[in-house]
């Protein structure tokens, strides 16, 4: 039970970690402090975590990383949308 709580807490923190950056980017219409290399590197890592979760049949790993990948995809979209604005 303790390990499930720890896993769920870690998943929630990870899933929501990019929401403040997305909100800030939408508010300011700026992504000047966002590193595209970091976004793509983390996206690849999260994608690999999803594959690992499928292999392990672990719904926490699959769901948490899927939500994280979606938030990263949103941030990457915003990077390309607002990154060109001068």
pLDDT for the residue numbered 23 = 95
10-residue mean pLDDT series, the chain (86 residues) = 90 91 94 92 96 95 94 96 75
Q: What is the DSSP string of 2-38?
A: HHHHHHHHHHHHHHTTTHHHHHHHHHHT--TT--HHH
Structure tokens at 8: 């769920």
pLDDT for the residue numbered 84 = 65
CA dihedral 72, 83, 85, 19 (to 10 degrees): 30
Domain count, the chain: 1
Cβ-based neighbours of 24, under 8 Å, separated by 6 or more = none
Q: CATH number for the domain including 37?
A: 1.20.1280.290
Q: Which domain holds residue 42?
A: 2-82
pLDDT for the residue numbered 68 = 95
Global pTM? 0.86
């Amino acid at each position: 039970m303790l390990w499930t709580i720890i896993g769920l807490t870690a998943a929630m923190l990870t899933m929501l970690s990019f929401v403040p950056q997305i909100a800030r980017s939408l508010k300011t219409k700026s992504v000047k402090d966002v590193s595209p290399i970091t976004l793509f590197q983390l996206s690849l890592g999260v994608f690999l975590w999803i594959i690992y979760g499928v292999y392990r049949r672990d719904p926490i790993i699959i769901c948490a990383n899927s939500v994280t990948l979606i938030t990263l995809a949103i941030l990457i979209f915003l990077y390309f949308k607002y990154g060109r604005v001068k």
